[in-house]
């Protein structure tokens, strides 16, 4: 079998997000006949999901979820929530110092951020309806998996025909948490000793809101 990573830096298998997206689109090619709904977790996954949607002749949209950081380390995810306020918490949230008051304040703050993002990203249309469709949720990688778990729970309630998680890189233990709540999980690279998502990309330049808005506008489904 041809090695898709041949010639790449051994510790950084992806040149950039678009390279990872090309590899992922090839992996997901079996879904190309059914006009799947490709949902990106903003912001980094939006350019990737756009390419995948083009390759699979699917529809592009975003699923708006955001991680909830620990009180004293915002980068350490203790959970995530969606734009309706539905919240997923990790089993260790309390150990990380998350009190009920802290969580209520974070939930209120994050929901406002997500609703503002929805107004920015898709101002002229409602979110795409995932009911009875093949839905593929794309992110540029997973660490704790909190945002993907929140996205999967959110979408499952909307009764898709099939719900798929697709990421270039993730730790094995995180994927094991994802598998029971997705119908299929695709991951291109599962490192033995996970460092961080960005570590596995040679170029992991931040994606800005302006680029997300431009991509979603130009990919509007008719």
Query: Per residue in 42-62, pLDDT tens?
Result: 999 999 999 999 999 999 999
Selected residue with higher pLDDT from 2 and 105: 105
Query: Per residue in 163-203, pLDDT tens?
Result: 999 999 999 999 999 999 999 999 999 999 999 999 999 99
pLDDT at position 3: 53
For the record, the structure tokens of 70 come out as 């620990």
For the record, the structure tokens of 165 come out as 């998680």
- The pTM of this model reads 0.89
> Whole-angstrom Cα distance, residue 109 to residue 41?
19
What does the CA dihedral 14, 18, 23, 26 come to, rounded to 10 degrees?
180
In this prediction, residue 75 has a pLDDT band, given cuts at 50, 70 and 90, of confident
Q: Report all structural domains of the chain as residue ranges with CATH numbers, in order of start.
A: 17-64+126-218 (3.40.50.2020)
pLDDT at position 122: 87
For the record, the structure tokens of 193 come out as 């000793």
Q: 205 pLDDT exceeds 90?
A: yes
Cα 61-143-171 angle, rounded to 5 deg:
115
> Whole-angstrom Cα distance, residue 166 to residue 148?
10
> Whole-angstrom Cα distance, residue 36 to residue 39?
9
Helical H segments across the chain, by residue range: 17-27, 45-56, 100-121, 146-156, 172-178, 209-218
Q: 80 pLDDT exceeds 80?
A: yes
Query: Per residue in 107-149, pLDDT tens?
Result: 999 999 999 999 999 887 888 999 999 999 999 999 989 899 9
Nearest Cα residue to 136 out of 79, 63, 207, 47: 63
In this prediction, residue 222 has a pLDDT band, given cuts at 50, 70 and 90, of very low
């Amino acid at each position: 079998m041809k090695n898709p990573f041949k010639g790449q830096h051994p510790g950084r298998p992806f040149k950039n997000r678009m390279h990872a997206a090309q590899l992922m689109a090839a992996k997901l090619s079996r879904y190309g006949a059914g006009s799947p709904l490709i949902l990106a977790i903003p912001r980094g996954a939006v350019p990737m999901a756009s390419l995948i949607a083009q390759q699979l002749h699917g529809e592009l949209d975003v699923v708006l979820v955001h991680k909830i950081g620990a009180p004293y380390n915002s980068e350490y995810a203790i959970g995530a929530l969606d734009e309706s306020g539905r919240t997923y918490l990790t089993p260790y949230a309390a150990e990380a110092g998350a009190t009920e008051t802290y969580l209520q304040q974070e939930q209120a703050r994050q929901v406002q951020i997500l609703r503002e993002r929805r107004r920015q990203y898709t101002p002229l249309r409602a979110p795409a309806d995932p009911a009875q469709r093949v839905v593929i949720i794309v992110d540029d990688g997973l660490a704790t998996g909190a945002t993907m778990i929140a996205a999967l729970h959110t979408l499952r309630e909307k009764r898709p025909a099939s719900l798929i998680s697709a990421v270039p890189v993730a730790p094995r233990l995180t994927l094991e948490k994802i598998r029971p709540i997705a119908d299929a999980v695709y991951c291109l690279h599962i490192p033995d000793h996970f460092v961080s998502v960005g570590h596995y990309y040679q170029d992991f330049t931040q994606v800005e809101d302006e680029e997300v808005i431009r991509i979603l506008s130009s990919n509007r489904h008719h």
